[in-house]
Copies of this chain bind each other. A is one copy, B any other.
Amino acid sequence: MGHSSATTFRGADVDLEMANQIAEAMQALATPSRVLILARLLESSCSVTELAEAVGMEQSAVSHQLRILRLLRLVVGERDGRNVLYALHDSHVGVLLEESANHVAHLRLADDEAAFAE
A103 to chain B: which residues have CB within 8 Å? 25, 92-93, 96
Judging by beta carbons under 8 Å apart, are A27 and B25 in contact?
no
Shortest Cβ distance from residue A12 to the other chain B in the assembled complex, whole angstroms: 6
Copies of this chain held together in the complex:
2
Cross-interface CB contact of A42 among B11, B30, B33, cutoff 8 Å: B11
Task: State how many residues of chain A have any CB contact under 8 Å with chain B.
Answer: 53
A25 to chain B: which residues have CB within 8 Å? 100, 103-104, 107
Binary B-proximity of A56-96 (CB < 8 A = 1, otherwise 0): 10000000000000000100000000000000001011111
CA A107 – CA B25 in complex, angstroms? Answer: 10
Cβ-closest chain B residue relative to A4: B102
